[in-house]
Each structure stands twice: as structure tokens, then as C-alpha cells.
Structure 1
Amino acid sequence: MTANTLPNPATKVLPLLGRSQAELTEWVESQGQPRYRGKQLYEWLYEKGARSLADITVFPKAWREQFAANPTVDFGRSQIHLHKQTRDGTEKFLLKLADGEIVETVGIPTSKRLTVCVSSQVGCPMACDFCATGKGGFQRNLAKHEIIDQVLTVQEVMQQRVSHIVFMGMGEPLLNFENLMGAIAVLNKDIGIGQRNITVSTVGIPNQIPRFANEHLQVTLAVSLHAPSQQVRAQVIPSADRYPLIALMDDCREYVEITGRRISFEYTLLAGVNDSAEQAQELAYLIRGFQSHVNLIPYNPVTDADYQRPTEKAIQTFVRVLEDARIAVSVRRTRGLEADAACGQLRGQHTK
């Protein structure tokens, strides 16, 4: 490719978002531009939210006009398809990707931080019986740049620096392992979010938790249990038949041994299914000896799922049983109820 020559339109060009400063510098030089423009491109892409070459006003006008006339370079940014804000400040987004698929992401602000709940797939193949995303089926994995774009979009719209990331949106992150690892690297090194402020949530995929452990990251692993027994877990999580609870717990122990880090066990409380005091005792027995924390999530009802939210009395009884067993526990209170708070609900309503 000669200087200032555009790529062949028939050639697939990887998006610029997700590339390191060195990779962006190499691309800039391939376009016949001086090396220092690589740093400028990097800063405008990750810090100033540039969505096209035309946005980068420090670049030569002729070069920007050239690309505007024949836009063959993809910056990898999505379009905001729908944006909802609730009274508690939570902001939920439907983002339209380059192929027309729709994905959800959520910005959750507090007085000291801004957390983004990130999706890793379009839909989800795990088909958990109580989950709105699972009800919508699975389309595909998200590319690395499509994951990163969610964070940048929330940061730009909410005009606040993102401090925390939770991979708890649509999809099963460990089924999109390579793109997950690539996105975490960029979020950490290029956007500046500390690994200890990143949480990856998984329902459990055979062999993937030890694989994740061997990456030796400082991120938090959150394992979605949702039941203290194999029988109940298989009722609400179809994949549990292929990954028995005993095998999942063995992998969790291996994770702790490899990393020395505690695990967060997520447990969605479903009225009359898994919220009894006896089941709290079972849960305490199951995770005894673990370096762990239990995050209880009172169910947020969704369309097409025949489950109900537990009573406040049932929630508090469950908490008390765990505390009496010396299990670290907290209750996640739902944010953004007016914006279809459960993951997949907003996208599901849009699809209908």
C-alpha cells in the first residue's frame, strides 16, 4: 500500500477501537502520516471519544476529507438506538451494532463511582429459565471493540469517568473467552480501569474457570449459583445437567488455590424455589471453607418467566441464616426498575 492510499473497500478492515497505541501508530504510518499522529489518534479514540476520522480536528483537513468521501476505516463505535434514565440516576442503553444487532448496557452511578454493566454476547445460549436474556435466544459473540464501545458510550453520555466494570449484562463471558481477555486488557491499560475494579460473572462453563484462573488477573470472579443443590440448579439453569454442581465447586476451589482471590457467589432469590431457610443452610454448607462472599439478588420479575420475587421477610431470614453460619453476605438492591432493570428486558421489549 502506497502512502495516502486508502485500503481496498473489498478488504475487511479491523476496527481501530481496541488497538494499542503501537498498533494505531503502525496504521497511521501505513497511511503515509508521521509517527506522532499515532499518539494523537490513540488519545482521541480513548480519551475524547472520536467516532470517525473527521472528528479528529488535529489531523490534516485534506486527510480527513479523503476518508469522509470514502469511509473505509471503521472506528468500531456503535449507535445509540435507545436511551432510558430512571429517577435513581441509572441509565440504560440499547446499542445498535454494525450488523444491526442490538445489545444492552447500563450505567449505574453512585456518589463516588460509575459502574458499567457490560454485555459479552448478543443474547445468551445458557437459557436460564428466569432470565430475560436467555428467553431471547443467542445470536453471536461480541467482538472486542463492541465490548469496549459500551464503556466509552456510557462514559460519554453520562459525562463521568467510568470507575468499575461488571460483566453481568447479556451473555456468558467465558463462552467468549478471547474477546473477553482482549477487552479487559484494553479497559485496563488503555482506558485506565483497574483490574480490581472489574468483575466477570459466569454461570459456570466446564474447564473455563481454571483457564480463567491461569490468566492470573486481579479481576473478581462472580459465579452464579442460584441454588444450593443440583436438583434445584438444574431446574433453573439448563446447562447444569452438563456441569454438575460438585464439578463447579471443585473448579471454584481450584480457582482460589491458583489465584489466592475470593469468589463472589451470586444467588438470585426466587420465591418458593430457592429462598427457604433450609436452602440457606444448604448454601452455607456448600460453600463452607471458601474464601468467598454471597451476593443475594431478589428476583426482578420478567415477562415469560413464571417466577416471583421473595418477600422481604424471606430475604432477611435467608441473610440471617448465612450470617449465623459466618458466611459473608450482602443483598443487591435493584436499580433502574422503571427502565426494565433485569438484564435483557429492555432489548426484549424492543424486539417485541
Structure 2
Amino acid sequence: MTDSLVSPLATPEERDAEASVRPKRLSEFVAQERVREQLEVLLHSALRRGSPPDHILFSGSPGLGKTTLAMIVAAELGGALRMTSGPAIERSGDLAAVLTSLQQGDVLFIDEIHRIAKPAEELLYSAMEDFRVDVMVGKGPGATAIPLDVEPFTLVGATTRAGLLTGPMRDRFGFVGHLEFYTAPELAALLERSARILGVAATKEGIGEIAGRSRGTPRIANRLLRRVRDYAELRTDGVVNVSSARAALKVYDVDDLGLDRLDKAVLRSLVELFGGGPVGLSTLAVAVGEQPDTVEEVVEPFLVREGLLARTPRGRVATAAAWRHLGKKPPNGSFGAGATTAPDLFTVDGQPDT
């Protein structure tokens, strides 16, 4: 993500703080009650049998706890955790080296598993089903497949784009858990726990103010808490209350709905440059100076969920709520205000831009 509040380029202090507030056990994990209960049954029944549980897939938007749950799975099973990501596995040999180094009962976590290379994915099939991999030696007609045994392990995959997983890959997971966005009360409970761990003095009202602007995402909530703490320590009495939270979040360009700089840039471009749309994704991305993937995967899910943006067959459209949020009067017939049709699609070089 590009915004400073959610940047992956965190300092060592930031990473340490984020690690310190991660739940270590299922009993400490806030919200996601259904997934948590299902996971508890799966893991504890496997422990009673003395065998690895079925492979696990977590899906959901970034920051909802997929990596944290992978760590919890390893902790509950008492096994070591090996972590990698789909984009990092470019060749089947890379994956074979990881698989053959696993010990019995280990947990292999592959983040963004939908981006794994096709040859590696096919190698993973036999490892998941039969705990065996076939390593090809040589090339051409003389190539030979050497079967290698893999110690029984549990694969935990995480994806933000479950629809991009192939059918054969999805079918090999015995448990699929979809993580939902958190409610404001759930985020408040999570922030109260984080404040205790970090030693932050905070009022319930201050915690509630942060929770309401955290986009339903624990990762963002914890980072906003740290930013408000910094502001409170530097410019007020050090207590995170309503006034310090509002002042700090104003400094960091987080508005009442939780929209940040990039969110508002997308809405302003739609409204002020394109008259509310519809406009194609690539054109919109150019207008705000971001990659299309960033706009589609980072910005749009929240704007759609808040009813500020609509995805139509002809492009992105700002709703009447978006116009009002920007302090502008929606035009007659604007999307979301009783309109039955959307304006013509903006084009690039005379071609539809979707």
C-alpha cells in the first residue's frame, strides 16, 4: 500500500510493535467467531488423533489476520512454521527444496498462494495429497523423475483473491475460512488489548474514535493507535482520548469514515475530473498516479463497501453518497440517487477502458 499508515516499509520498531500485539493462541484472537470455532475443532481433533490436520486456506482482504492465524495454527499444533509467498516461488525446484526440508508436523505458510507459478502449483498437488514430490533430473527425452518423500505437514495458504485459485488447488484444502471485516465494537476490543500490551493510556471514547475510522481492519486499527499515541505523547498529555485521536487523525489525513489520502484522491478524480463516471480502472489509476492493481485491491473494496463507489459493466461510478461526502451536490440522475442508467463510458484512444 502506498499510504504511510499502511506501508509495508515499516521500521524495525514498527514491526516489533505489530508483532507484540499479535495473538499467540486461538483464545486470544478477537472476532471471526465462526472461523475460530471451526479451526479449534479441526486442530484439536487432529491433535487427539496424533496426525496433521487437513490443509487450510484463509481468504479475505489484507490486514484481517490471515498471517496471524497461520502462526496460531503452528502454535496450537506445536510445530515449526515455515513462511514463504506465492510470488517468491518461481520454479518447481524452489518449492521442492522447501518441502523436502520440512520436519514431521511442520506448518508451511504460503501467502498470496494464488500467485504461485504453475509448475510449482502442480508439484504442490502431490505433496499435499501423497506427501511426495517428483523432481525432474535432466532435460528432454533423457529426463528422469526422481520421487522424494515429504514428511507429513500442514499447508496453510492465504489469499486476497480466492477467485483466482484454480479448481484443483482449491479442492485440495480440507478447510477454507473466509475472514470478514471487523465491526467497530470488535475493533475497540482489539484496540483495548493492544493498548494494554503497548502501555498506551487510552480512554474508551478515544479507542472508539480510532475503531470507527479503521476500515474494519485490525492492521489499520493497530497502526492508527500507534500514530495517535505518538501525537498524544508529543502534543498533549499522552492520553489517547477523543480530542487527541481526532487531532492526530486529521494530521494523518484520515477522515470520519476512515478514508485516507488515496481514497479521497480516487473519489475526487471520479467526481471532479470525470463527472462521476463511469470511467475505466486504468484511466482512474493514471489520474491518481497509482497502479491499477493498487486502486482495485487496496482502495476500491472499502469504497464499495461504504457505498461510495460502484463497479458497473461500463466502469467505476461515484455514488450520490460520494458526492455528498466531498461536500458537493449530486447531479440529477447520479448513480445511487434513483438513476437507472449510467453515463457513457470514458474511452482511451476511442476504445472502451474497463
Q: TM-score category by the smaller chain? A: under 0.3
Please identify which structure carries the higher strand content: 1
Which structure is higher in helix share? 2
Q: TM-score, normalised by structure 1?
A: 0.28
TM-score calculated relative to the size of structure 2: 0.28
